[in-house]
Each structure stands twice: as C-alpha cells, then as structure tokens.
C-alpha cells in the first residue's frame, strides 16, 4: 500500500483538497494529513502550529474562526499563493468517502473531535488514528473510543523498549499497523519482525527523509536511481505500507514488480 505524505504536494499545495484529489487520481491507497483546530472548535488540515509557511496569513489556526481562516489562501511548493483554501477534516472525508484511507497525523489532541466528524460523515472505517504514546496512556485518555477506531501505534526503534511496546499494544487492542521509525537500521526488530504480523497487523515504514529510515529514502530511489537500497530495502524488511513524498514514482516501481494493482 502507498501512502501519499500530505497528498500530492508536488502538484498542489500540501494538505489541500486538490493535493488529496490528485493523490487519489494517481492511485494511492492512503493520504496522510495533519489536524489542527480553529478558535470555534472546527478540525482543519494544517501541519504547522502556525499558518505562516503554508498560507498568506499569520498566526495559528486557533487564532481564527473557520470563517476567518477560510479567507486565507494556501501556497504551493514554490511559496506562491494559490486559490486553494485550508480544508476542514469534514471536507476531506466527504471527498474521499468510499474511496481511500486517511492517516490522521498530529491528531492525538483531537481524537474525540475527529471521531465525531468521521461518525457524522460515515467514514469511521476509512481513518487511521495514530500516536507515539504508550498503550496505557491512550487507554486512559480515550477510553470511550479506543476500541471503536482503526488504530496504528508509532514505534521509535532507536529507543529501548520498542519490542515491549509493540507486544503490549498487541495484547490489548491489536493495532491495524505499526509505524516503525529509525535513524539507524541496526534494530533487531528490522531483522526479525514476523511477530508484528500477529493478528494481521501491517508494518508501515516511511520512505520520506533519511532520519526516519536510516537513509533508505525516496531521494535515494528517485534522485540517485538506487531503488535497491531504498524502496526494495524497505520491502525486504517487512513493510506492506510505505509513506512517500514520491507517490507517482513509487507506484510505478511497485506496479513494475507486480506489487501494486
């Protein structure tokens, strides 16, 4: 499965409805997006804690009501202002309903609000909630919904106790996937991770920047033409979901190998 990081941001502003539409058009399985909240409590899509970098406005989403925030315009990858507005989570879910999955990044503070949007739009089964928090923390903070959502635990393999954290999650809620992040590729879990697939869990590895995958990244595959030490390496180490900044190229590579229909 291919997850497009912030949508197809090379052809449209990151985290815009247009970027998500383009990602769907090229055939990705998942779009990743980032949640934030307006002054009047509406969940919107914004990666940064301010809108300074990605729009023609200033300040944080929480400084504005949704109506006020909608007056700003998203910038493209060159920093040029476009006609695209900051989308709400509800708008995104209506766009992708019945089509693909959504990975809710930066969502931990907004699980309850996101859950209500998904229930309202009838898209609860299309969203993957995620966090780096330990199982007990998530259970204590969100006891009312933790058993009703599709959940992925994010595990830093460079930290001690990574395997114990995975096994603890598996004992209690059986996450749909585990996102494995690592700055070094020496973890024993990378060499022997069949235990993660217990109960049907998938392994998610990011091919984004090198610090998430010990240099087995998109740039190595595309700019250096070395797929052996990037995407192939990731697949050989158990990944069945890859999050990428190069969705077109990754899809082309996977289809050539008959790994994506």
> What's 87's DSSP letter?
P
Closest to 31 measured CA to CA, from 214, 253, 245: 245
The C-alpha atoms of residue 188 and residue 98 are separated, in whole angstroms, by 38
Give me the residue label for tokens 């609860």.
124
The C-alpha atoms of residue 173 and residue 150 are separated, in whole angstroms, by 10
Q: What is the mean pLDDT of each run of 10 residues along the chain (261 residues)?
A: 97 98 98 98 98 98 98 96 98 98 98 98 98 98 97 97 96 96 97 92 97 98 98 98 98 98 88
Q: What are phi and psi of 103, to 5 degrees?
A: -100, 115
Measured distance between the N- and C-terminal CA atoms of the chain, rounded to whole angstroms: 10
- With vertex at residue 148, the alpha carbon angle to CA 37 and CA 162, rounded to the nearest 5 degrees, is 80
Residue pair 191/182 in contact (Cβ under 8 Å)? The answer is no
> What's 212's DSSP letter?
G
| Rg of the chain in Å (alpha carbons) | 18
The C-alpha atoms of residue 100 and residue 104 are separated, in whole angstroms, by 13
Please list the residues that pair with 36 across neighbouring strands.
Answer: 44
* SS3 of residue 180 by DSSP: strand
pLDDT in tens, 187-206: 999 999 999 998 899 999 99
């Amino acid at each position: 499965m291919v997850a497009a990081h912030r949508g197809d941001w090379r052809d449209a502003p990151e985290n815009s409805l247009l970027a998500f539409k383009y990602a769907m058009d090229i055939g990705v399985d998942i779009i990743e997006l980032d949640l934030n909240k307006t002054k009047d409590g509406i969940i919107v899509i914004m990666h940064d804690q301010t809108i300074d970098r990605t729009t023609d406005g200033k300040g944080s989403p929480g400084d504005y009501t949704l109506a006020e925030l909608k007056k700003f315009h998203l910038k493209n990858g060159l920093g040029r202002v476009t006609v695209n507005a900051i989308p709400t989570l509800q708008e995104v879910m209506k766009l992708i309903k019945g089509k693909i999955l959504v990975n809710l990044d930066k969502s931990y503070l907004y699980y309850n609000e996101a859950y209500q949007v998904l229930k309202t739009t009838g898209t609860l089964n299309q969203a993957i909630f995620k966090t780096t928090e330990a199982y007990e923390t998530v259970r204590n903070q969100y006891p009312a919904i933790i058993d009703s959502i599709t959940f992925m635990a994010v595990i830093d393999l460079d930290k001690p106790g990574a395997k114990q954290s995975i096994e603890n999650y598996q004992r209690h809620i059986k996450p749909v996937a585990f996102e494995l992040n690592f700055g070094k590729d020496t973890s024993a879990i990378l060499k022997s991770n069949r235990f993660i697939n217990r109960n049907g869990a998938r392994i998610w590895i990011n091919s984004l920047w090198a610090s998430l995958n010990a240099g087995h990244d998109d740039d190595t595959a595309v700019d250096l033409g070395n797929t052996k030490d990037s995407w192939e390496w990731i697949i050989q180490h158990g990944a069945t979901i890859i999050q990428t900044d190069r969705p077109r190229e990754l899809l082309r590579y996977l289809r050539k190998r008959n790994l994506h229909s």
